[in-house]
């Protein structure tokens, strides 16, 4: 009996889910291959070195068709850390705060980017508004009153602005035709600031937005009885795969 190595299985699972069947998928595929190689090798000791440890039982979330070429995971590969989300974040928060103390990192809270600036054909910085201070609860809508402007220059600019899940208009605009009409009513698994506004700003500066119709929305399923953000939903990730039906069994 020949047992496939985890690297090969993970790569096939990823390829089966992502497809990578379009011309614009060249670099995403390269990124996926590099990440799977990292995850199958140095990632675990790299994380353990930073104090992150894993629960010894591996789960099987997002399972697929039980083979390595279909959608989802063909084997259990859902790892849970001791301390869950906060335990993952803590070591990196410590590192970036230490970097800030040493002058390597500067935080610019309440700075809203409206434009990527250029020097010739190169992106050389950002420009935008300074918003008034806010002490609202995490996740709630904060004030968008402008109290000033700013401009920052940099040798390189990386846009890491999150998804579009709170912008239902943008979700509907990018809804895949193969799935028919988007739902009339949507609930939201992310706070209001996850609005996708940096996508248009990046595109206006010459950025290449690919695979707009390949959105990844978890099944939130149920409206939150005690909402924090707009249309706040409850995320449900059961052990086995979910099967959602309406009142008529559809």
- Is 122 in the same domain as 86? no
Task: Choose the final residue of a domain: 60, 91, 122.
Answer: 91
Q: What is the per-residue pLDDT for 235?
A: 77
Task: Choose the final residue of a domain: 91, 123, 142.
Answer: 91
- Quote the domain boundaries for residue 228: 161-250
Tokens of 53: 């440890």
Is 228 part of any domain? yes
- Is 114 in the same domain as 166? no
- Is 40 in the same domain as 116? no
Q: What is the per-residue pLDDT for 3?
A: 43
How many folded domains does the chain comprise? 3
Per-residue pLDDT tens digits for 41-69: 899 999 999 999 999 888 877 777 666 67
**Given CA atoms 180, 184, 190, 194 in this order, what sign does their dihedral have?**
positive
Q: What is the per-residue pLDDT for 217?
A: 79
Does residue 72 come out as left (phi exceeding 0), alpha (psi in the -120 to 50 range) or beta?
left
Per-residue pLDDT tens digits for 105-138: 999 999 999 999 999 999 999 999 999 999 998 8
- Is 171 in the same domain as 240? yes
Task: Choose the final residue of a domain: 128, 158, 188.
Answer: 158
Is 65 part of any domain? yes
Is 103 part of any domain? no
C-beta separation of 129 from 112 below 8 A: yes
Confidence of residue 18 (pLDDT cuts 50, 70, 90): confident
- Is 153 in the same domain as 169? no
The C-alpha angle 89, 55, 59, rounded to 5 degrees, equals 105
Is 100 part of any domain? no
- Is 129 in the same domain as 165? no
Residue from 134, 141, 129, 132 nearest 166 by CA: 141
Can you state the angle between helices 26-40 and 6-18, rounded to 10 degrees? 150
Is 58 part of any domain? yes
């Amino acid at each position: 009996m020949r047992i496939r190595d985890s690297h090969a299985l993970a790569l096939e699972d990823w390829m089966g889910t992502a497809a990578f069947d379009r011309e614009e998928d060249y670099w995403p595929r390269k990124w996926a291959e590099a990440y799977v190689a990292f995850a199958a090798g140095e990632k675990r000791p790299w994380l353990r070195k930073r104090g992150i440890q894993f629960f010894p039982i591996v789960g099987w979330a997002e399972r697929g068709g039980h083979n390595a070429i279909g959608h989802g995971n063909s084997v259990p590969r859902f790892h849970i850390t001791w301390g869950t989300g906060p335990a993952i974040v803590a070591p990196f928060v410590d590192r970036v705060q230490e970097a800030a103390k040493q002058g390597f990192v500067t935080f610019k809270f309440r700075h809203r980017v409206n434009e990527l600036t250029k020097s010739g054909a190169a992106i050389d910085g950002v420009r935008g508004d300074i918003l008034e201070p806010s002490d609202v609860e995490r996740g709630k809508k904060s004030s968008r009153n402008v109290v000033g402007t700013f401009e920052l220059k940099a040798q390189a600019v990386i846009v890491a602005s999150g998804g579009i899940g709170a912008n239902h208009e943008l979700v509907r605009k990018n809804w895949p035709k193969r799935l028919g009409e988007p739902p009339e009513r949507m609930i939201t698994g992310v706070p209001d600031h996850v609005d996708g506004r940096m996508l248009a700003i990046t595109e206006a500066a010459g950025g290449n937005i690919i695979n707009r119709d390949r959105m990844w929305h978890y099944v939130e399923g149920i409206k939150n009885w005690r909402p924090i953000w707009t249309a706040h939903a409850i995320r449900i990730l059961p052990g086995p795969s979910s099967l959602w039906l309406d009142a008529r069994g559809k």
